Amino acid sequence: MTDHLDPGYAGAAEDRRLGHAKPGRVGVRAWIALGAALVGLVLGTAYAQASSSASDVDQTRTELLAKVRAAEDQARSLAANREALTVRVQQLRASVLADDAEGAKVLGQLRDLQAAAANESVRGPGLVVTLTDPSTRPDLSDSSQRVPGSPQAGVLDRDLQAVVNSLWASGAEAIAVGEVRVGPDVTIRQAGGAMLVDNQPVPSPYRVAAVGSPSRLETGFVVSDAYLRMSTVQQLYDVGFTIAESDDLTLPAATGRQTRFAQEFAQETGAP
C-alpha cells in the first residue's frame, strides 16, 4: 500500500521516454474511414452479385415460360392437324367401304371399335356432375387423408374416379373430365398439387360430362356410392357438388395410342 501512483501513469511516462506517440485524432479517423470504405465495398459487391443472380433467375424463368408456351402452341397445332387428318381418313374410308355389303359391314365394325376406344367425338344429351374445390386452394400432393380446414379438404383423385365409375355403371355411353375424354387406358390421379386426367392437368371446377339417357344416368347415379360419398364430402368439407341434365353435350375424341403388344385369348366354350 506504499505505491499510491496508478500503474497507468507509469506506463504513459515509460511510453514518452521510449518515444512512443499516441495516435492523433486525424489518424484514427483515417483508419475508420478506410474500414468503412472496405465494408461498403464488400456490401456493394455482394448486392451487385445478388441483383445479377436475381436478374439471371428472372431471365431464365421468362425463357422457360416462353418455351413452354411455344410447346403448348405447337401441341395444339399438331392436335388440330391430327383431327383434320382423322376426319379426312374417315371420309375416304367411308367412300371406299360403303358401296358394297361386305364393306358396309366392315365399316360398322370399325365404328363400333372406335366408339369403344373413344377415338371419335360424341354428341348428345346426358348428365353433368361438377365438383369444385373449396375457396382455400387445396394441396393435392397428399391424397392419403382429408382433414377439415386443412389443405387436403379439396377434391381428391379418388372422388373423380368414383364419380366416373358410377356414371359408367349408370349407363353412360361416353365420359369426359373437363376437355379430356375418358378412354380404356385413361388414368385420373394427383401429382405435384395438380389433378391429372390422362396426364393432362385439369383445373377446378372439375366438370364430368356423360353422354347417355339423362333420366337413366341421374336415376342410377343418385343411388350410387359415389353420390353418397360426394354428398357427405360436400357437407363436411365445403366441396362443391352439383348435378345437371343437358340436352346437348359434345365430348372430344380421346388421344390415340399406338398398340405395341397384343395377345388374343381364345374363349372357352362349355363347362369345365
Co-location of 45 and 68 in the same domain: yes
Residue 102, SS3 per DSSP: helix
- Report how far residue 204's alpha carbon sits from residue 198's, in angstroms, rounded to the nearest whole number: 16
Co-location of 144 and 235 in the same domain: yes
CB atoms within 10 A of CB 85: 10
CATH number, domain of 127, equals 3.30.70.1880
- The domain in which residue 70 lies consists of 23-116
Report if residue 258 sits inside a domain.
Answer: no
CA-nearest of 233, 219, 250 to 120 is 250
Residue 189 has pLDDT above 80, yes or no: yes
Co-location of 153 and 243 in the same domain: yes
Co-location of 162 and 244 in the same domain: yes
Lowest average pLDDT, out of 82-86, 111-115, 165-169, 229-233, goes to 111-115
How high is the pLDDT of residue 153? Answer: 62
- As a dihedral over the C-alpha atoms of residue 94, residue 99, residue 102, residue 107, rounded to 10 degrees, the angle is 10
CA torsion through residues 250, 253, 255, 260, sign: positive
Q: How confident is the model at residue 224 (pLDDT cuts 50, 70, 90)?
A: very high
Co-location of 237 and 139 in the same domain: yes
Domain boundary among 63, 84, 116: 116
93 and 76 Cβ atoms separated by less than 8 Å: no
203 and 168 Cβ atoms separated by less than 8 Å: no
Report if residue 262 sits inside a domain.
Answer: no
Co-location of 89 and 163 in the same domain: no
Q: Model's pTM, two decimal places?
A: 0.59
Domain boundary among 116, 137, 167: 116
Report if residue 260 sits inside a domain.
Answer: no
Co-location of 77 and 162 in the same domain: no
195 and 155 Cβ atoms separated by less than 8 Å: yes
How high is the pLDDT of residue 29? Answer: 73
Could you tell me the end-to-end alpha-carbon distance of the chain, in angstroms, rounded to an integer? 121
Report if residue 13 sits inside a domain.
Answer: no
130 and 208 Cβ atoms separated by less than 8 Å: yes
156 and 211 Cβ atoms separated by less than 8 Å: no
Report if residue 131 sits inside a domain.
Answer: yes
Co-location of 124 and 246 in the same domain: yes
| Residue that wins the pLDDT comparison between 116 and 214 | 214
Report if residue 158 sits inside a domain.
Answer: yes
CA-nearest of 241, 265, 167, 153 to 209 is 167
DSSP per-residue letters across 180-241:
EE--TT--EEEETTEEEETTEE-PSSEEEEEES-HHHHHHHHTTSHHHHHHHHHHHHH--EE
What single-letter amino acid sits at 173? E
DSSP-derived letter for residue 1 is: -
Co-location of 84 and 51 in the same domain: yes
How high is the pLDDT of residue 6? Answer: 58
What are the grid coordinates assigned to 53, written together?
Answer: 443472380
Length of the chain: 272
What single-letter amino acid sits at 96? V
DSSP-derived letter for residue 270 is: S
240 and 136 Cβ atoms separated by less than 8 Å: no
Q: How confident is the model at residue 27 (pLDDT cuts 50, 70, 90)?
A: low
Structural domains counted in the chain: 2
Co-location of 126 and 154 in the same domain: yes
Lowest average pLDDT, out of 36-50, 161-175, 185-199, 238-252, goes to 36-50
